[in-house]
Amino acid sequence: MPDGKVTNVSYNHYAFGCIGDWLYRYVAGLDKDSPGYKHSLIRPEPDEKMTYARASHHSVYGEIVSGWEKNHGKMKVKVKIPPNTSASVWVSGAVLEEVVEGGESIRENNDIYSRKQIGDKVVLEIGSGEYLFEYPYA
């Protein structure tokens, strides 16, 4: 309490849960696209005032990680997808020809099943593994 007293009031309320949900699904971009996270949706929405975010979830298949970092005009999106699962990764503010994964063009990466430009986002379909996507970011 403002006066320093502790009460028996519960702080485990939905209002706090919806903040956590927003941080996971929108800031870090980690969400499920099918039951049990068999197919994940990685769609971070970086805010101009933030420089990084990271979230992980321990699904029945293993750990799923979504994280991003902005630094000196470059965006890095780090993703980990567990075995026997897949994901759709949406990278914001990107141009298809400028996105690289592990230092190589995404056009030459056989672990990426499909790539397409939708507005100012690049949408990638990937299988299990760890990925580091990098691209110029204004």
Summarize pLDDT for 35-52 with one digit per residue, the tens: 999 999 999 999 889 999
Which residues lie below 8 Å from residue 17, measured CB to CB, with a gap of 6+?
Answer: none
Could you report the per-residue pLDDT of 95-119, keeping only the tens digit for each? 999 999 999 999 888 889 999 999 9
Cα separation values, 18 from 2, 14, 30, 98, Å? 24, 6, 14, 35
Residues in the chain: 138
Domains identified in the chain and CATH numbers: 14-136 (2.60.420.10)
Question: Which token pair is 51?
Answer: 């420089």
Cβ atoms of residues 114 and 105 within 8 Å: no
In the predicted structure, residue 58 carries a pLDDT above the cut 80: yes
Percent of the chain at pLDDT exceeding 90: 76
pTM equals 0.86
DSSP 52-92: EEEEEEEETTEEEEEEEEEETTEEEEEEEEEEEEEEEEEEE
Element (H, E) at 22: helix 14-22
User: Which pLDDT score, from 0 to 100, does residue 59 have?
Assistant: 96
User: Which pLDDT score, from 0 to 100, does residue 63 have?
Assistant: 98
Cβ atoms of residues 36 and 45 within 8 Å: no
